Amino acid sequence: MSTVLPTAVAELPAAAAATAPSPQALQLEHARALYAQTPATLAGNLVGVLLVVFFFGGVADPLRLFGWVGVMALLWCVRLGHFLRFRRHPDADDATLLAWRSSWRTLALLLGACWGVAAWLFWGLGTPSHQVALLLIIYSYCVGSVQLLAGQPRVFAAFLCLVLLPTVARVASDFGHPFHLELALIICVLFGAVWLMGHTYRSALAQAIDLKLRTDQLAAQLRVEKAAAEEARRAAEAASRAKTQFFAAASHDLRQPLHAMGLFAETLRHRCSDPDVASLVNSINESVDALEGLFGELLDITRIDTGGVELKPEAVRLRDVFARLRLHFEPAAFEKGLALGFRGEAHVVQADPVVVERILRNLVSNAIRYTEDGGVLVSCRQRGDRLLLQVWDSGIGIAEASLPRIFDEFYQVNSHRPLEPHQRKGLGLGLAIVKRLADLMDAPLTVRSRVGHGTVFSLEVPPGRIEAPPAEPLSASPKMPLGLSLQGRLIVVVEDEPPVREGLTVLLKAWGADVLDFDTVGAVEGWLRGAGLPRPDLLIVDYRLPEARTGLEALALIRARWPDQRLPAILITGSSLSGHENEAEAHDFHLLIKPVLPNKLRAMIGFKLNERAGRK
């Protein structure tokens, strides 16, 4: 479409030039021009009649004068009626409009004849000044009619003959005037001048009408092309939305078995002490983690390309963003023996909180992936009237030759050293997503790196302001030991997918927990109707449940049974396009996106139970 449409539009002027307007179209356009000029013509006629009355009211016979004025007034009123009829019916059909033009011509010729008769009625009366005034009035009327009649050569010639020939004849026959022949000759010369003026104006009018008609044709063709382009655009947008929705739905369905696979694999690790089996479990978990990253990257790039990311800037406390980042990435950093630090959490930025967090998540994820020793630092500091968000790492670094291309789609840096399997994951979309989101925010993004020493990404954002008192200082969440024990803890699981529910239940029991599992909100309601129920320590619910119900309903029902204490909850979903962040804040739960690796789930459970202990 993008190639064909401009070509078609470019060819429209040539096509319009090759199609000349039809004779009928020219006649119709000329008829409309006549009626458009009628008010000025009527005003000129009225002024001319009033001047005749003014000059000859005291010297002409009243019967002759007012008889002529009466005929002129009758014709003038009929022409006014013609004009008003046209105004009342602007959408008259072509045949009606051409018929009106014929009657309009007749009235114009009758008015011209009346002015020719005026020369015979009033010439010779009064002083020479009266005669000069009469000739000037008649001649001015002829000149004023050029614009109105020049487009119709025959009518214009007849009109001039009806006005000027009687005048020439009357002046030439006045033998009592010493210069009657000279005056007659001058009037003939003026007759020729008026005719020449009419010919020139007729050519200009014909060109203007022709140009207008061709312009209308071109505009009509452009409207057709625009409608076609608009329809194509809507179809493309619909296809793009359908693609995004399909991909999101497919992603959700594909994440379910991956999630179950990771849970079963971790359970297998606990049940078998064979080192080879443990190695296989690690490989399975790495593959699941890689697939999760691919799904996230593809969905993000699709949302940005289809305009699905709508910015909603607001004042954002970085301590809240950093707390979520710490919770999400600390297990991964801990497993690799890296220090994950945060500085400048007291700052407040003015930006879309979801987009800022998504940018930082991608950068921190990359930093941890490509760092083997040292650590990763997320910081914010003042730079002039802006804030500088930075992600530092002590990783393998990026060669200077590769820096200009790292934000390209599907580009992955060729390192001079062999990469570990976990470093080769991905499609090369993470930094492309970061760049697009930064451009969407109009926030400059830069990178500096040294091979073997590390990399720093910098994002400039405007500062924000929050009047509310600051929250408690960000404290490091405790590192959960990999051997987490849930002995004596009661966890309620609400999950409709049998493999996922079974895998999660088996894994939690392997960690020592007591588990109550349900597959629908209705099953939860049935359980809650019982008496003497034990109070759960943690709720783990899926977002999308059968019968068009959600995990939020299950949370609300269970928490309502024990209103004295806000039960900690983890909500798990297979869709990353739903924007559950606001719901998480409103309903006090933490969100995990499927597939959830056991180590992430273990760290989240430890955090939530520790959080509850703190509340007690």
pLDDT at position 13 is 44
Q: Where are the domains of the chain?
A: 4-226, 311-461, 490-615
* pLDDT value of residue 540: 92
How far, in Å, CA of 320 to CA of 342, rounded?
Answer: 12
Q: Angle, nearest 10°, between helix axes 318-336 and 598-615?
A: 130
Q: At 358, phi and psi to the nearest 5?
A: -65, -40
pLDDT recorded at residue 493: 92
Task: Average the pLDDT over 409-413 and give the result.
Answer: 57
pLDDT, averaged across the chain: 76
pLDDT at 421: 46
Distances (CA, A) of 597 to 149, 253, 284, 534: 89, 17, 10, 29
Cβ atoms of residues 604 and 591 within 8 Å? no
Q: What is the CA radius of gyration of the chain?
A: 45
On whether the CB atoms of residues 160 and 168 are closer than 8 A, the answer is no
Mean pLDDT of 149-169: 78
Q: What's the pLDDT at 434? A: 83
- pLDDT category at 576 given cuts 50, 70, 90 is low
In whole angstroms, give the CA distance from residue 567 to residue 584.
14
Burial class (CB in 10 A: 0-12, 13-18, 19+), 77: exposed
- State what percent of residues in the chain have pLDDT above 90: 7
Q: Give pLDDT, residue 458.
A: 92
Greater confidence (460 vs 285) lies with 460
Residues whose CB falls within 8 Å of the CB of residue 265, separated by 6 or more in sequence, listed in order:
281, 284, 285, 288, 598
pLDDT tens-digit readout, 244-257: 666 656 555 666 67
List b or e across 241-274, with b for residues whose CB sees 16 or more CB atoms inside 10 angstroms: eeebeebbeebbeebbbbbbbbbbbbbbbeeeee
DSSP three-state, residue 597: coil
Task: Please compute the mean of the pLDDT values over residues 406-434 and round it to a whole number.
Answer: 58
Question: Is the sign of the CA dihedral 190, 191, 194, 199 positive or negative?
Answer: negative
Least confident piece of the model among 11-25, 135-149, 221-235, 258-272: 11-25
Tens of pLDDT, residue by residue over 65-108, are: 889 989 989 988 988 888 888 778 777 777 777 777 777 778 88
pLDDT of 481 over the 80 cut: no
Show the DSSP H helices in 370-429 as ranges: none
User: In whole angstroms, what is the distance from residue 348 CA to residue 389 CA?
Assistant: 11
| pLDDT at position 1 | 39
| Count of H-run helices and E-run strands, the chain | 17, 14
* pLDDT over threshold 60, residue 225: yes
Cis amide bond preceding 595, omega within 30: yes
Residue 465: partners with Cβ closer than 8 Å, 6 or more residues away: 315, 348, 350
- Residue 141 pLDDT level (bands cut at 50, 70, 90): confident
Quick check: 397 pLDDT over 50? Answer: yes
Q: Packing angle between helix 94-122 and helix 23-56, nearest 10 degrees?
A: 30
What pLDDT does residue 254 have? 61
Instruction: Give the count of beta carbons closer than 10 Å to the beta carbon of residue 591.
Output: 18
Cα separation, 566 vs 66, in Å, equals: 103
Residue 572 pLDDT class (50, 70, 90 cuts): confident
CB under 8 A, 24+ apart: contacts of 555-559 = 555/587, 555/589, 556/587, 557/521, 557/524, 557/525, 557/528, 558/492, 558/524, 558/528
Residue 7: per-residue pLDDT: 42
- How does residue 467 score in pLDDT terms, banded at 50, 70 and 90? low
Q: Would you call 86 helix, strand, or coil by DSSP?
A: helix
Cα–Cα distance, 68 to 125 (Å, whole number): 15
Residue 611 has pLDDT above 60, yes or no: no
**Going by C-beta distance under 8 Å and a sequence separation of 6 or more, which residues neighbour residue 436?**
301, 304
The residue assigned the tokens 């989240």 is 604
pLDDT at residue 277, rounded to an integer: 67
Say how far apart CA 152 and CA 165 lie, in whole Å. Answer: 19
pLDDT band at 492 (very low <50, low <70, confident <90, very high): very high
Superfamily of domain 490-615 in CATH is Response regulator (3.40.50.2300)
The pLDDT of residue 348 is 92
pLDDT at 364 over 60: yes
Cα-Cα-Cα-Cα torsion 13, 19, 22, 28, nearest 10 degrees, comes to -10
Sequence-separated (6 or more) residues with CB below 8 Å from residue 253: 574
Q: Which residue has the higher pLDDT, 223 or 148?
A: 223
* Alpha carbon distance 544, 126 (integer Å): 105
Find, among 486, 298, 456, the residue nearest to 374 by Cα.
456
Residue-level length of the chain:
616
**pLDDT digit string (tens) for 206-219?**
676 677 767 877 88
Pair of tokens at residue 285: 């978990």
Q: What is the pLDDT of residues 290-325, one digit of tens each?
A: 666 556 655 655 556 555 566 778 888 898 888 888
Q: What is the average per-residue pLDDT within 265-280?
A: 66
Please answer whether residues 338 and 364 qualify as being in contact, where contact means their C-beta atoms are separated by less than 8 angstroms. Answer: no
> Which option is the CATH number for 311-461: 3.30.1370.110, 3.10.110.10, 3.40.1440.10, 3.30.565.10?
3.30.565.10
Out of 65-69, 178-182, 441-445, pick the least confident. 178-182
Query: β-pairing, 538-542 with 569-573?
Result: parallel
Tokens of 326: 């710490």
Of the ranges 257-261, 489-493, 539-543, which one carries the lowest mean pLDDT score?
257-261
Average pLDDT over residues 267-286: 66
Q: Looking at this protein, which amino acid is placed at residue 520? A: T
pLDDT for 196: 76
State residue 74's pLDDT score: 92
pTM score, whole prediction: 0.43
Question: Mean pLDDT throughout 418-429?
Answer: 48
Share of the chain above pLDDT 70, in %: 70
What token pair was written down for 367? 């930093």
pLDDT higher than 80, residue 156: no
End-to-end, the C-alpha distance of the chain in Å comes to 64
Span 14-66, pLDDT tens digits: 444 445 556 666 666 666 767 777 787 788 888 888 888 888 888 888 888 88
The conformation of residue 181, written as its DSSP 8-state character, comes to H
